[in-house]
Amino acid sequence: MKFRTQEPEPASMLQMTPMIDIVFQLLVFFIFTFKIVLPEGDFNIRMPAATQSTTSTPSETPLLEVKLRATPDRELARVQLGEAVLGGEQPFFELQSRIRGMIDDAAGPTANDQEVEIDADFGLKYKYVMRAITAITGYIDENGQRHPLVERVRFAPPRSQ
Amino acid sequence: MRFRPKKTGIVEGDLTPMIDMTFQLIAFFMLVINFSDAEQDQRVTLPESELAKPPEAPYEHPLTVHLTSDDQYIYGGFAMDDLGQLRSELVRETQVLERYQSIAVADITIVIRADEDAKVGLVQQIIQACQDLKFERFALRGQYSDARTIGGAQPR
């Protein structure tokens, strides 16, 4: 009796194509939905309408006024704390130093009592106001610890253009 | 002379490194994907501040208003040139929130994302318009910076 020689079985291979298809589709999905979210933070301001604020209990601590004046090309011309003009090349640092001196002074107002009103020229660039708010509301020390200064900040009514 | 017939096999590239790399990329994107509905707009470059750290908890009822450097207000994805338009949009939004979700206007936080070169007066006008609509809470948004923005030496 004659036996036919059996043909060798083909090597069984796993089908990779569907998996690679799916994997690439996933990759494309993730690439298209990827968005870089920059860390952002807020300065919280509680500013009820003027009619309500006038009826609220008046604070014993006088209101500090920070004035920001603009040059014709909308850059910062000068910073004033009350009537005192803050000179030098770093007026916001000077502003912070003065406010720190007031808050740290034992006989002075506490951080919760004091209120600051920002009176800025209409056309001034917003970044200068943000710097002023940064200088007023707190600072970060060498160890990265945050120290609050004045927490109550408000805006004066907008000046005419 | 006798030639042996050449064996012609299927030439297959080694796919293993490519698949490894692709899986690594997928793992990376899966880890960094962010589904949060962050209200950001590429038209606005926020001013920097070292104190502008992300809030620990999200606001319960935020409404975000953007202000670009070319005096455009953006609310709900629509750009507006006029403050009156923005006011009407806010009125409509507050009516919906009050009527259908019973949210008091005073509990809503207006998040203002103004460009660093925007006019301060326009930011103040937005706040004033919102105050007229009885909004009380405002959040001025800035971009977090590692460096000191107000100059001077780091305090002790």
For B119-131, what is each residue's pLDDT tens digit? Answer: 999 999 999 888 8
Q: Are strands A64-70 and A152-155 parallel, antiparallel or unpaired?
A: unpaired
In this complex, the residue of B25, B34, B134 whose CB is nearest that of residue A35 is B34
Residues 37-56 of B with CB under 8 A from A: 38, 40, 46-55
Q: What are phi and psi of A68, to 5 degrees?
A: -120, 115
- Contact check, Cβ <8 Å, A92/B150: yes
- Contact check, Cβ <8 Å, B124/A158: yes
- Contact check, Cβ <8 Å, A124/B120: yes
Distance, in Å, from the CA atom of B65 to the CA atom of B83, rounded to the nearest integer, reads 11
In this complex, the residue of A20, A48, A130 whose CB is nearest that of residue B142 is A130
- Contact check, Cβ <8 Å, B117/A46: no
For B4-18, what is each residue's pLDDT tens digit? Answer: 766 667 777 788 888
Contacts of B78-87 with CB under 8 Å at 24 or more apart are B83/B122, B83/B125, B83/B126, B83/B129, B86/B126, B86/B129, B87/B129, B87/B132, B87/B133
For B98-141, what is each residue's pLDDT tens digit? Answer: 888 778 888 888 899 999 899 999 999 999 888 888 888 888 88
- The predicted model scores a pTM of 0.76
- Contact check, Cβ <8 Å, B120/A128: yes
Q: Closest residue of A to B134, CA-based? A: A49
Q: Closest residue of B to A42, CA-based? A: B141
B57 touches chain A (CB under 8 A): no
A140 touches chain B (CB under 8 A): yes
The shortest C-alpha distance from A1 to chain B (Å) reads 32
B50 neighbourhood in chain A, CB within 8 Å: 134, 140
CA torsion angle A91 A96 A101 A103 (round to 10)? 150
**Res A28 pLDDT > 90:** yes
- Distances in whole angstroms, Cα of residue A69 to Cα of each of A3, A66, A93, A129: 106, 10, 17, 11
| Among A89, A87, A81, residue whose Cα is nearest residue A132 | A81
Contacts of B11 (CB under 8 A, 6+ apart): none
ipTM: 0.77
**Res A25 pLDDT > 90:** yes
A77 touches chain B (CB under 8 A): no
